[in-house]
């Protein structure tokens, strides 16, 4: 029943080793069992195959179908419970909750307080992991009402409520519930749970900045874990002690010793992912000792390990903040600013991640409801099939009575058969419509993700630069040299130019997506479009000393929307300048091929890989690169080019290879399409 926040690797390995043996044994029993016995065996198989979500859920559903058929209410309830358990351990909490709730309803009918308490505890942990603390506490309290005689469950639920309050930063309430759990664990002699509770109390005192109390409880946890030979829990308690000792100059040796002890135990268990936290802690010690350069090296190593083991944004955020603070202490304000900007970006990313996870939860809820409706439809279809088989049997019996009645019945069956064929045709048409709708939804979802990505990162990042440099200029204007101020102004200008260009593309793309973009094709001279587009980028090319050459027949005319084609040219020329190094060359050519004009923008820049070429014009792709002078890009410009070219009855493609430059081609008709 217990689901602590920390898991021991040795336990997981031993369970995995035993699970396969149990599965083989259960499969052998299933072959000889009756249908009533199979429902229970399938549930056991679901438990032992929990690491394979699809297989585990399949066994649970098979058990449920048999339990319904044989009216086994307990097995029906357990089937839903195991569906919830499988999704819980797969971290699919939004899927787990409906299964637990269905199990809860059936266990209430059975008055089974054991499983009912488990359901309340599990739903509470789901809400806890989804950062919905109030709902989690409601579930834990309902569970507490059912376990007056079971003190072990009561201690666990009290501990869980303490964890929720700790996560919500209600530390006084957290300590109160932890202490209630502690008293019960002492009474029933549950040493492991007692040590975990000591660790929880210590963490709450850390948040309250009450170091003495925190050290007292964490030392108790450490000693008790040591006696119980619980190396994983002990390592975490030691790491927490190291964090506290670091804040006291006279306890830095203790901190160093605690971190090294923790790391030794993590290595023994193979939990190498915790090295990132250990490196950050050792960096804190070095910083307190005034060894700032060594501290920065440890912080950077912590960042590398965080990225390697995918430890999340939270650890990156705190590490970047510490690096920025350390650089400011040694007077390297440029590096301090760089890392402070990264800290701010990860702070914003955490907030954006929470919003994104809420959207994902809504989408998963929709998918869950859709799957449940599909299951209901399949059950109804099976029931109809059973009824049809029963009718056919009755018709056969009646057919032996009278030949005349047989002919009537045959006619009736034929009518039903043709109706079924017609229904199948209708069903096939509906399936095609549904498939088409799903494709459109995927594209819309990709467009939504692209839009959020641009707003959350590409549009925001230049603002961070502007804000950072303007902040430095407003605070310490006189401390900077004239050359530094000019560089700051240049960077601010470049950032605002990027913002304007991105907003321009974003607005045009939004208008095209919402159907508010007016398409007005007319016959125009290509010369004017090329001239206007190149003039816009002349200063940008001049900054990188890039030569733009033209080669085309000045008499060429095309039939297209001039604003759309100018947008296409502007984006392609801008990209060519962005990915061409200084002193490079760009060649713009145009030629007529029968009823269309082919335009090419070729550069001798960095080029594009074959894989990226295939994904450049896709809304759901993630191709996005920095320019040769670190210019930002969102990938939206090429998507806009594709839409506008297709709108004008043309086509667009690219030829490129790494370090060999790129050539972007598109065509425009010379007269209206008939």
What is the per-residue DSSP string for 350-391? HHHHHHHHHHHHHHHHHHHHHHHHHHHHHHHHHHHHHHHHHH
Q: Of the ranges 37-41, 369-373, 505-509, 550-554, which one carries the lowest mean pLDDT score?
A: 369-373
Q: Band of the pLDDT at 505, cuts 50, 70, 90?
A: low
Name the residue with higher pLDDT: 176 or 455. Answer: 176
Name the residue with higher pLDDT: 436 or 609. Answer: 609
Q: Band of the pLDDT at 94, cuts 50, 70, 90?
A: very high
Residue 328 has pLDDT above 70, yes or no: yes
| Residues contacting residue 340 through CB under 8 Å, at least 6 positions apart | 320, 321, 324, 468
- Position 16 scores a pLDDT of 44
491-530 burial, b at 16+ Cβ within 10 Å, e below that, comes to ebebbeebbebbeebbebbeebeeeebeeebeebebbebb
- Position 622 scores a pLDDT of 61
- Position 419 scores a pLDDT of 80
150-270 to CATH, choices 1.25.40.10, 1.10.1740.10, 3.40.1260.10, 3.20.20.150: 1.25.40.10
Q: Band of the pLDDT at 358, cuts 50, 70, 90?
A: very low
Name the residue with higher pLDDT: 365 or 108. Answer: 108
**Are 655 and 546 contacting, i.e. CB atoms less than 8 angstroms apart?**
no
- Position 532 scores a pLDDT of 84
CATH topology for 16-146 is 1.25.40
For 425-460, write each residue's pLDDT tens digit: 777 777 778 777 776 666 556 555 555 555 544 555
Name the residue with higher pLDDT: 233 or 447. Answer: 233
**Are 180 and 145 contacting, i.e. CB atoms less than 8 angstroms apart?**
no
For 310-320, write each residue's pLDDT tens digit: 877 677 888 98
Distance from C-alpha of 462 to C-alpha of 345, rounded to nearest angstrom: 11
Whether 16-146 and 150-270 share one fold: the answer is yes
Percent of the chain whose pLDDT exceeds 70: 81
pTM comes to 0.48
Q: What string of DSSP letters covers 179-208?
A: HHHHHHHHHHT-HHHHHHHHHHHHHHHHHT
- Position 523 scores a pLDDT of 92
Q: Band of the pLDDT at 120, cuts 50, 70, 90?
A: very high
For 529-563, write each residue's pLDDT tens digit: 898 888 878 878 888 899 999 999 989 999 999 98
- Position 475 scores a pLDDT of 77
Residue 477 has pLDDT above 50, yes or no: yes
- Position 603 scores a pLDDT of 94
- Characterize the bridge pairing of strands 547-552 and 585-593: parallel
Name the residue with higher pLDDT: 289 or 501. Answer: 289
- Position 440 scores a pLDDT of 60
Q: Band of the pLDDT at 619, cuts 50, 70, 90?
A: confident
Q: To the nearest whole number, what is the mean pLDDT of the chain? A: 81
CATH architecture of 519-669: 2-Layer Sandwich (3.30)
Give the start-to-end residue ranges of the domains of the chain: 16-146, 150-270, 275-303+310-380, 519-669
Residue 351 has pLDDT above 60, yes or no: no
Q: Band of the pLDDT at 357, cuts 50, 70, 90?
A: very low
The domain 275-303+310-380 having CATH identifier 1.25.40.10: the answer here is yes
Residue 148 has pLDDT above 80, yes or no: no
Residue 352 has pLDDT above 50, yes or no: no
**Are 234 and 265 contacting, i.e. CB atoms less than 8 angstroms apart?**
yes
- Position 22 scores a pLDDT of 78
Residue 115 has pLDDT above 70, yes or no: yes
For 275-292, write each residue's pLDDT tens digit: 888 999 999 999 898 999
Q: Of the ranges 167-176, 191-200, 386-395, 450-459, which one carries the lowest mean pLDDT score?
A: 450-459
- Position 486 scores a pLDDT of 81
Please give the average per-residue pLDDT across 280-305, as a whole number: 90
């Amino acid at each position: 029943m217990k689901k602590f926040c920390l898991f021991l690797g040795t336990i997981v390995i031993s369970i995995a080793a035993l699970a396969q043996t149990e599965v083989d044994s259960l499969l052998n029993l299933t072959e000889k069992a009756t249908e009533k016995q199979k429902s229970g065996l399938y549930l056991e198989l679901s438990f032992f195959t929990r690491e394979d979500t699809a297989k585990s859920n399949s066994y649970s559903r098979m058990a449920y179908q048999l339990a319904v058929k044989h009216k086994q209410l307990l097995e029906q309830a357990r089937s839903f419970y195991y569906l919830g358990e499988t999704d819980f351990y797969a971290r699919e909490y939004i899927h787990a909750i409906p299964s637990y709730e269905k199990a809860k309803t059936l266990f209430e009918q059975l008055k089974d307080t054991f499983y009912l308490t488990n359901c309340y505890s599990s739903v509470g942990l789901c809400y806890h992991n989804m950062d919905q603390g109030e709902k989690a506490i409601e579930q834990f309290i309902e569970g507490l009402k059912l376990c007056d005689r079971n003190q072990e469950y009561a201690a666990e639920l009290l501990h869980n409520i303490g964890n929720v309050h700790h996560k919500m930063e209600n530390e006084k309430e957290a300590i109160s519930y932890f202490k209630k759990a502690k008293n019960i664990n002492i009474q029933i002699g549950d040493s492991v749970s007692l040590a975990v509770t000591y660790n929880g109390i210590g963490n709450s005192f850390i948040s309250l900045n009450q170091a003495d109390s925190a050290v007292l409880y964490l030392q108790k946890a450490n000693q008790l874990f040591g006696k119980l030979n619980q190396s994983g829990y002990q390592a975490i308690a030691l790491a927490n002690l190291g964090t506290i000792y670091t804040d006291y100059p006279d306890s830095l040796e203790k901190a160093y010793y605690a971190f090294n002890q923790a790391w030794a135990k993590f290595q023994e268990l193979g939990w190498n992912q915790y090295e990132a936290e250990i490196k950050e802690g050792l960096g804190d010690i070095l910083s307190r000792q005034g060894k700032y350069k060594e501290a920065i090296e440890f912080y950077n190593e912590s960042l590398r390990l965080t990225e390697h083991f995918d430890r999340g944004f939270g650890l990156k955020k705190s590490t970047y903040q510490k690096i920025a603070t350390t650089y400011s202490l040694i007077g390297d304000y440029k590096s301090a600013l760089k890392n402070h900007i990264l800290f701010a970006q990860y702070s914003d990313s955490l907030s954006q991640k929470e919003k994104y996870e809420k959207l994902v939860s809504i989408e998963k809820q929709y998918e869950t409801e859709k799957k449940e409706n599909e299951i209901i439809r399949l059950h109804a279809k099976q029931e109809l099939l059973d009824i049809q088989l029963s009718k056919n049997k009755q018709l056969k019996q009646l057919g032996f009575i009278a030949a005349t009645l047989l002919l009537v019945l045959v006619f009736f069956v034929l009518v039903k058969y043709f109706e079924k064929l017609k229904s199948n045709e209708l069903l096939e048409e509906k399936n095609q419509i549904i498939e088409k709708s799903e494709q459109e939804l995927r594209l819309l979802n990709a467009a939504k993700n692209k839009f959020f990505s641009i707003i959350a990162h590409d549009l925001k990042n230049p603002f961070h630069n502007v804000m950072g440099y303007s902040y430095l200029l407003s605070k310490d204007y006189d401390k900077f040299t004239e050359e530094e101020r000019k560089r700051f102004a240049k960077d601010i200008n470049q950032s605002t130019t990027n913002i304007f260009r991105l907003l321009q593309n974003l607005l045009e793309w939004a208008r095209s997506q919402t159907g508010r973009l007016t398409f007005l094709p007319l016959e125009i001279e290509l010369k004017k479009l090329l001239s206007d587009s190149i003039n816009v980028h002349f200063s940008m090319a001049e900054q990188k000393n890039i030569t733009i050459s033209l080669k085309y027949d000045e008499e060429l005319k095309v039939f297209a929307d001039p604003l759309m084609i100018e947008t296409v040219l502007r984006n392609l020329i801008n990209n060519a300048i962005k990915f061409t190094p200084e002193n490079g060359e760009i060649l713009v050519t145009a030629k007529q091929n029968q009823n269309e004009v082919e335009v090419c923008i070729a550069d001798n820049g960095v080029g594009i890989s074959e894989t990226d070429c295939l994904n450049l014009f896709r809304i759901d792709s993630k191709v996005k690169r920095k320019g040769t002078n670190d210019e930002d890009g969102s990938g939206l410009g090429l998507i806009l080019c594709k839409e506008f070219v297709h709108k004008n009855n043309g086509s667009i493609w690219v030829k490129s290879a790494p370090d060999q430059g790129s050539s972007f081609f598109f065509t425009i008709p010379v007269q209206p399409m008939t």
